[in-house]
Amino acid sequence: MSKKRVLIAHILGAEGKQMLRERDDIEVVEFANTIEQGQFQALLESFDEVHGVILGLTRFGTAELQRTPGLQVVSRIGVGFDAVDIPAMTEAAVPVMVCANANHRAVAEHTLGFMLSLAKRTEALTHLVRDGNWHQRYDYLPTELEGREVLLVGCGRIGARVATLLVALGMRVKVYDPYLSPRQLPQGVEPVAVLEHALASADYVSLHCPKTAETVGLLSAERLALMKQHAYVINTARGGIVDEQALYQALVEKRIAGAALDVFLPEPPPHGSGLPSLDNVICSPHLAGVSREAVSRMAKLAAGNVLNVFDAEPNHDNAVNPQVFDRAVHLAQANSAEAIPYPI
Catalytic residue selected from 76, 105, 223, 238: 238
Helix (H) or strand (E) holding 260: strand 258-261
**197 is an active site residue:** no
3-class secondary structure, 172 = strand
Q: Burial, 165: exposed, middle or buried (Cβ in 10 Å; 0-12, 13-18, 19+)?
A: middle
Residue 43 main-chain phi, psi, to 5 deg: -60, -45
Length, in residues, of the chain: 344
**267 is an active site residue:** yes
Q: How far, CA to CA in Å, does 207 sit from each of 18, 227, 289, 324? A: 35, 14, 14, 30
Q: How far, CA to CA in Å, does 64 sit from each of 93, 124, 324? A: 15, 46, 19
Helix (H) or strand (E) holding 5: strand 4-9
Q: What DSSP state is assigned to residue 242?
A: B
DSSP string across 193-230: S-HHHHHHH-SEEEE-----TTTTT-B-HHHHTTS-TT
Q: How far apart are CA 9 and CA 51, in angstroms?
A: 15
- CA end-to-end span of the chain, whole Å? 20
Please say whether the beta carbons of 205 and 219 come within 8 A. yes
Catalytic residue selected from 214, 267, 293, 330: 267
Catalytic residue selected from 127, 255, 286, 327: 286
**286 is an active site residue:** yes
Q: Catalytic positions, please?
A: 238, 267, 286
